[in-house]
Every structure is written in structure tokens, then in C-alpha cells.
Chain A
Amino acid sequence: MPTIRHASRWKALLLSGAVLCLAFNASARAANFESPQDGVYADHIDWGMTADMSGPSSGAQNPWGQGFQDAVKVVNEKGGVGGRKINVLVEDTRYDATAERVAYEKFVSQTPALGTSGMGNSSAQTAMVPLIKRSKLPVVGTYTTAKAAVEPPTPYFYGGFCGFKEMAQTGVGFFTDHLALKQPTVALVHLDVASGKEYAGYMEAAVTARGGTFKAIPIKVVAADATPQVLDILAMKPDFVAIHGVTTTSILVMKAMLQYGINAPAFAISYLGTPTVYDGLGPDAGKNYYFVSCFSPASSDLKVSVALSAAADKFGHSALKDDVNYVAGYVIGNMVADAIGKAGAEPTREKLSAMLNTGYVANTGGLSSELKYTPTDHFGLTALKPLSFDYATKSFKSYGEYADFGKYLQ
């Protein structure tokens, strides 16, 4: 063990020496801007990315990370940003608040990064708000956005995923109009964890705002069966059902609804609009399953997804391009590159966060709804649209444009 450590230490010394020499040469030639404490070097920029890659939500967050990295790879192949390649420093945080914090602090000073993305753990975000404000390392484009992190907005935190409140409002609004209901009766199956409680609150507000009746039915994260939940639904006879949970939740609830002959449509949160869920459901249970999303799976709009598909095919992720999580990562990867470019030829953390804070609109090429930050709103994405999967053509189908559903948001 000590010998190995020694060897790597020597190697590291040699490497850092080599890097120093290189850096010296480069600076002698072009006097390029460098700011190592911000992760900005003459030829590259270090950028952090955290995701759950081996923990309970790795099934969804891994595709996100792949999408993010693929987008950055494409940017780098085209020459990077302002002549600098983006070097993504990846940390697996296992959906663990401790690991999330360690990773963030690592990007602050240990292997300094210009900014960081991902951070898909809202409890960790809530706990880290004071740390982020102190450390001033911008978090740009998160996989989930905790309320405490953006209300009130800080210059160092920018969301990057559809919000629960908007999911609830869009879903309830769309189905109420779509089914021509006056006062909708809605059942929600949600996880009995923090985010599930939060979503239940938003759903209740959205339904009662339309004078409807609402019932929240909790389910465990690790469930083997959804019979009690579905019997609750059966007793309530809702016009439509909403689902918050993990892949398993959707599959269990939809299959049990089929079993009990409940024909009401169901809409799930964005994270659950994945090919895995539709594949697991099969056409019979899947035909009633919708989801609301601010990202478009590749097959739902072939015109705008050309570049995304090319990148996914090129880096061996063809199977992921219809996964909204992959698309989300891809959009955020591109946004990060674009934002660094807009932070000027001499980017620093301070300049980047100042630029974003004064107002920023990303060009997402139609892969998502408008992604913009204003001084008062750091949430990023707001508009969503309903989607479902067509088993006959094996492609996702959307029920309109993002702009059509802005009317449901308050």
C-alpha cells in the first residue's frame, strides 16, 4: 500500500511539473488569461458535475450525467469555449448529502472549478444554501431545485429542471381542459418522502384552485405492490390520476389500475417519462400513461433533436436519447458552455454569476421550453407540455407546444 501511494505521488509530482511547464510555455506565447483559483486555465476550464451514479436514484441521474458529458464533448470537438476545452470533473454523490457537500467543497478549492452542475438532491441543496452563499462557487443547472435554494434567489444558484409546482399546474390544467371537466376529481399517488409531500401540496393547490376534489395517497419508495393505493383510487373514482415517485411506483400503480379496470388517464412527473417506464408497462397499461415535461425526448420532435441524436449515437448512448433525463443533461451541458462563453474572454466565477444574475436566456434549440434566468427568478425552466408514448410507432408524442401551456401557470 505505501509503495503504491508513493508511486502515485511521484507521478502526480511529475505530472504537475509537466503541466506547469506547459502552462508556462502557453503563457509566454499568448499571454492567455488564467485564473487557477476559478478553475480557468490557458487551454481548459474545469467544471464540476455531481450526480447519483451508484445510489438509489442512479437509474435517472446516470442518463442525466451522460447527456451532460456528451453535450460538453461535442462542444470540445468544435474547439471548446473561447479556445478553452471544458474539462468535466465528475463526482458520484450516491444521493448522499455528505458526499454532495464534500464534492461541492472539492470544486471550491481542492480542484477548483468555474462552476458546478447536477446536485440532484434537494435535501442536500437546502442544507448547503449557506455554504454556497459563502463559497461563491456558482451552481448552474441543477437536476432538481429545492425551494430554499432559489427563494430568495442568490447569485450563485441556478436551477435546471422543471419544477414540481409547474408540473402540478400544467398536468391538472391540461387534463381538466382535455377531458372537458368543470370541477376535476383528482387522486395523487406520491412517495412518502419530502419531495412527495411538497408535490402533494402543489397538486392540492392546483386542484382546489379549479374547485375540484383532491386526495393524496402515499406509497413507499420501496414498494412491492400498489393494491391498497389503487383500491383507494377505485373508491374515489377520479377523473384523472397523478403520480409522483420512482420508476417502480409508476409501473406498480399503472399495472394495478389496469388490473382493477380503472380507465382514467394518469400523468406523472417529468422524471418518470422514460422509455424504461413505458417498456415496463407494456401497451395495455401504458396507453393511459402521460407525463408532463419541460424537455422533449428525441422522437417527440425529430426536427429539433438532430444534433442530440447525433451526439447520443456517436458516444454510444442511442438508447438514452428518448429519456427526458438524458435530454435534460444534454440541454444543461450546452447551456453551461454557452454561459461560459457569455461570461467573457476572461471568465471567472464572479463574472459568470454576475452575468447569469443580470439576466440570461439560453438557446436550447427547441429541446426544452424557454430556459432563462432573471434577477428575481433563478428557477430557469417553467413551461411544460404533456407527452405520452405511442407504442405503434415507438415514439413519444407531445400534445402541443410549450407555449400552449403557459396559460396554466400562475
Chain B
Amino acid sequence: MTTLRSSVLRLLCWAIGIGFVLYVPFVLNTRTVFGYRVGNMVLLNLGLAQVDLMLISIIGAVSLNFLTGCAGLISVGHAAFFAVGAMAAAAAGQQLGLPFAATLIAATIAGAIAGVIAGLPSLRVRGLYFVLSTLALHFIVVFCFAEYQYAFHDVAGVTMGDATIMGFELDNNVKWYFFLLPFVVLVCVMLQSTLGLREGRAVLAMRDNELAAAASGIDVRMLRLKVFAFSSAIASLAGALQAYYFTSVSAEIYTLDTAIQFIAMIIVGGMGSIRGGIAGAVVWLLLPSVLVGTTVELKVLPGGVAQFLVGHQPQMVNLTFGVLVAVLLITAPGGLAGLARSFAARGSRQGSGV
């Protein structure tokens, strides 16, 4: 009886969730809910472009979370892999004239190869030294990107071809949303199921105790390279998608800051779980808008305070994020996903007590 009810409930939840995900782009695009126009703040000051970019960031964040949270390899090289993806897609599309879909595959393969190369230092060093090797990698890749850009493209940026798939051009945000969504789902499902496989369990074992993992017959070195290649292939794919979304990208956009933001995302969301990566990307990409919108709404506050907040909006947003990361690190190492889990656990404990 209870199992039936709960399974129906679960089905209902899924249906509502899927309905929501499918309906959201139309709401954000037309700014109407079932035909009624709604105010900007009702939609939390969010736009569809932000959501599309968030989807791309989710792909990046979950792949980094797989590398850092699940395999224990800290990397500040994620912006570099985005750059590798963009570069490979541009080279395949513009120099070789391959179609859009093929360039995405090329970007993924290039990312995997770059990942193996970038992962080589992991054979010799780990911990902090490995972080530093990815830092060096970042600067080297960005240098190469700039050289490639100036050699083969305009100084203003690397131009990407049209994103056309079987005669269907991705030329607005709604189309992009429905194009990106399957990628996000696919990547998340793939990573989740990988964790369930023997290899995935070996990855977790390696993170938790490397010596024990090695003793039980896992080739730790090979595994690390595989994980790195896997994660950077996904990041490169995201980088290629981002480049096509922008239509033109410049070396200047791949900053160390971008790489650090990905780490911040997984810390905020929660390390070591797919859910954490998603939650982090959602918060990191959407919260600024909500905060900015709220400060505008706060005009009702006494004159000086409101003026100060509105006048220092961008700094206030940065400050909030810095403090958010610090507070989460100190008080909730599991991030938002961890908080939600402990919240749910407490809820069910109380429920069972009644």
C-alpha cells in the first residue's frame, strides 16, 4: 500500500519535474506563464540566455566534480580544456570544413588527448604539486590559443561556423536550450552510471585510500590518466558548445578566474556527487542575477543603505560569493548537496519518530 502510494508520488514528482524543465524555456523566453505576462522579479530576474550558459557550465562542473570530488585530483585546468575544445572545434570546422556535429566529436577527442597529456604529471606528483602542474598547463594552453587565434583568425576572436545540425540552425535561445539539455542529461547519466561500474568504484577507492586500492590490484596510475582524459573530454565538449553559442571566442575569455569559478561551483554545490555539480553551477550562474534584482527591489530601504547597495552592486555580489564559499567551506564541507542530504535525513528521522 505505502510502496504503491510512494511510487505513484515519485512518478508524479518526476512528471512535474520534467514538465517544469520542458516548460521553463518558453516562460523565460516569452515572459508569460500560461499566457499571462509576469514581472521580471517574479521570474527572479532570470533570462533564457543565462539558463543556456548555465547548462554549459553544468557540463563543466559535473566533469570537474568527477575529477576532483570522485577521483580526488584537484585541477585548475578546466578553463584550459574549454579552450582546447573551442580550438579543436574551430580548427575542424574552419580549417578542415567539417560539419557542426563532427566538430563536436573532434573537440571531445582533442579534449581526451589533451587530458592524457595534462594528466602525465599525475604519474609523478600529486596533491599540491599536481594543482600547480595544471596551473602551468592553463597558461601554456591559453598562450597556444592566442597564437592560434592570431595566426588563423581575426584579432577580435576565433570565429565559429554556424551551429547547424541536419539543416536545423541553432539560432535562438529556445533551440539552444533543447539542444543542450540532452547533452546535460547524457553527461550526468553517463557519469552516474560510471560510478556504479567496477571502474567507478575503483576511482572512489583510489580517492579514499590509494595504497589499499593499489594493493587490491587496481592500476592506480592508468586509472588516474583515464579519469583525467574522461573529464577533460567532457569539458572540451562543453568548451566547443560554449564557443558555438558565442559564435566567436577570444583567448582573453579563458582566464584563470574561469577555472577557479568551476572549483567554487563544486564546493558550493558539494563535492563528489553529480547533484553537487549541478547545484553549484545553478547557484553560481543564477544567484548573481537574483541578488542584483533584489538590490534593485530594496529601494524601499532607508535612503543611504539602498543607495550604497545599488551603487556597489557588483562588488556586493562578489563579496557575497566570497563569503558564501568561505562560510560553506567552514561550516558545511558537503556543500549544498550535503546540506540538503542532512536536512532530508533529519526530516525522515523525525518522520519515523512520529
Q: Which residues of A are interface residues toward B (Cβ below 8 A)? A: 4-5, 8-9, 11-13, 15-16, 53-54, 90-92, 94, 96-98, 101-102, 105-106, 109-111, 122-123, 126-128, 130-131, 134, 146-148, 193-195, 197-198
Contact = CB atoms under 8 A, between A and B. Distances in A.
B172 A134 contact: yes
B252 A194 contact: yes
Interface size class of B (residues with CB under 8 A): 35 or more
Contacts of B40: 12, 110-111
A194 B156 contact: yes
A97 B294 contact: no
Contacts of B50: 102
Given A16-B41, A110-B47, A123-B248, 20 more contacts: A4-B294, A8-B297, A9-B41, A12-B41, A12-B42, A12-B297, A15-B41, A16-B38, A16-B39, A16-B42, A92-B313, A97-B249, A98-B53, A98-B246, A110-B46, A127-B247, A194-B156, A194-B157, A195-B155, A198-B155
Given A126-B154, A126-B248, A193-B252, A8 B294 contact: yes
A194 B49 contact: no
B204 interface: no
Interface string B230-268: 000000000000000011111011000000000000000
A130 B171 CA distance: 9
Contacts of A126: 154, 156-157, 248
Given A134-B171, A134-B172, A146-B156, A5 B249 contact: no
Contacts of A194: 155-157, 250, 252
A15 B298 CA distance: 12
B164 interface: no
Interface in B206-247: 246-247
A90 B296 CA distance: 10
B246 A109 contact: no
B348 interface: no
Nearest to B47: A110
B258 to A, nearest CB: 9
B194 interface: no
B252 A123 contact: yes
A126 B294 CA distance: 32
B137 interface: no
Contacts of B315: 54
B270 to A, nearest CB: 16
Nearest to B38: A16
A101 B50 CA distance: 9
B353 to A, nearest CB: 24
Contact of A13 (B42, B47, B155, B252): B42
Interface of B: 28-31, 38-50, 53, 150, 154-157, 171-173, 246-250, 252-253, 289-290, 292-294, 297, 313-315, 318
Contacts of A195: 155
B173 to A, nearest CB: 7
B164 to A, nearest CB: 13
A127 B172 contact: no
A401 B30 CA distance: 50
A8 B42 CA distance: 8
A364 B293 CA distance: 34
B253 A54 contact: no
Contacts of B157: 123, 126-127, 194
B318 to A, nearest CB: 6
Contacts of A130: 171, 247
B173 A105 contact: yes
B156 A12 contact: no
Contacts of B314: 53-54, 92, 94
A222 B71 CA distance: 35
A90 B155 CA distance: 29
A101 B49 contact: yes
Which of B38, B47, B50, B294 is most buried by chain A, counting CB atoms within 10 A of its CB? B47
A109 B26 CA distance: 12
A56 to B, nearest CB: 9
22 contacts: A4-B294, A8-B293, A13-B42, A15-B41, A16-B39, A53-B313, A54-B315, A54-B318, A97-B249, A97-B250, A101-B49, A102-B50, A106-B49, A110-B46, A123-B156, A123-B253, A126-B248, A127-B249, A148-B154, A197-B150, A198-B155, A198-B156
A194 B252 CA distance: 9
Contact of A11 (B171, B248, B297): B297
Contact of A105 (B41, B47, B156, B250): B47
A11 B41 CA distance: 9
B251 to A, nearest CB: 8
A97 B28 CA distance: 21
Which of A110, A134, A193 is most buried by chain B, counting CB atoms within 10 A of its CB? A110
Contact of B156 (A96, A101, A111, A148): A148
A23 to B, nearest CB: 12
The 9 nearest A-B residue pairs measured at CB: A12-B41, A54-B314, A92-B314, A16-B39, A127-B248, A105-B49, A123-B250, A126-B156, A194-B155
